[in-house]
């Protein structure tokens, strides 16, 4: 999944997410001191040695993805698990890419980029796996047929809703301009995605508003 993102945005990073992966729920509880209510979480923990980074993806999600590999066939059966894992990888990849360039990143920016990443990678995979046929149901599935975890606090839920709303508008606009026309221009779609990836938080919110 990290390779997908690196190729999609022409934005490789030197750190491999597998080196930071946590799959043991007990280990996550030990590190955070909190109960685990999610299948995916990126950790930034500061201690005397500096800042430690970890990416938690539940073993159950990874087991299901191993059994039904989305790189071979991404469909309704594994799309939810694919998006769960991709979100964690997206947070890690964008964070590492930004840190290496001395950029600060807000939580809203991380969530917005992850929403776009889930759509863009899923669209790329599905189109390739279906001999170029456009997956019309993908956009409503990712941006409208959703529910947020009831354990979210008010601030977090508001952030997720805002990221979802901005990403939905942006991704729909790209579809209509470059992919769903009679003369589709996937190279322009890709170019716009790469510009968005490199844009500042303010620019991202402006073009997706």
99-138: pLDDT as tens digits? 999 999 999 999 999 999 999 999 999 999 999 899 999 9
Distance (Å, whole) CA 137 – CA 143: 10
Average pLDDT of the segment spanning 165-170: 97
Distance (Å, whole) CA 194 – CA 87: 18
> Structurally, how many domains does the chain consist of?
1
- Give the structural domain span for 16: 2-207
Nearest 5°: the CA angle 57, 199, 115 is 35
The rounded mean pLDDT for the chain is 91
Cα 148 to chain centroid, rounded: 16
pLDDT at 184 exceeding the cut of 90:
no
Residue 164, phi then psi, degrees to nearest 5? -60, -45
Task: Give the least confident one: 34-48, 151-165, 175-189.
Answer: 34-48
48: confidence class by pLDDT, cuts 50, 70, 90: low
Model pTM?
0.92
pLDDT at 35 exceeding the cut of 90:
no
């Amino acid at each position: 999944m990290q390779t997908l993102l690196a190729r999609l945005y022409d934005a490789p990073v030197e750190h491999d997410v597998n080196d930071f992966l946590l799959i043991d729920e007990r280990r996550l509880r030990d590190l955070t001191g909190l109960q685990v209510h999610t299948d995916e979480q990126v950790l930034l923990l500061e201690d005397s040695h500096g800042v430690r980074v970890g990416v938690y993806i539940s073993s159950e999600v990874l087991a299901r993805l191993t059994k039904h590999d989305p790189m071979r066939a991404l469909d309704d059966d594994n799309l939810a698990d694919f998006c769960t894992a991709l979100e964690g990888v997206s947070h890690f990849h964008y964070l590492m890419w930004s840190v290496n360039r001395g950029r600060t990143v807000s939580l809203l920016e991380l969530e917005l980029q992850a929403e776009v990443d889930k759509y863009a990678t899923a669209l790329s995979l599905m189109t390739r796996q279906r001999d170029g046929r456009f997956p019309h149901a993908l956009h409503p599935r990712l941006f409208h047929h959703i529910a947020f975890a009831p354990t979210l606090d008010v601030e977090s839920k508001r952030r997720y809703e805002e990221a979802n709303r901005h990403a939905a508008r942006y991704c729909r606009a790209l579809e209509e301009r470059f992919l769903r026309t009679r003369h589709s221009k996937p190279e322009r779609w890709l170019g716009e995605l790469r510009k968005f990836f490199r844009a500042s938080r303010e620019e991202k919110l402006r073009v997706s508003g």
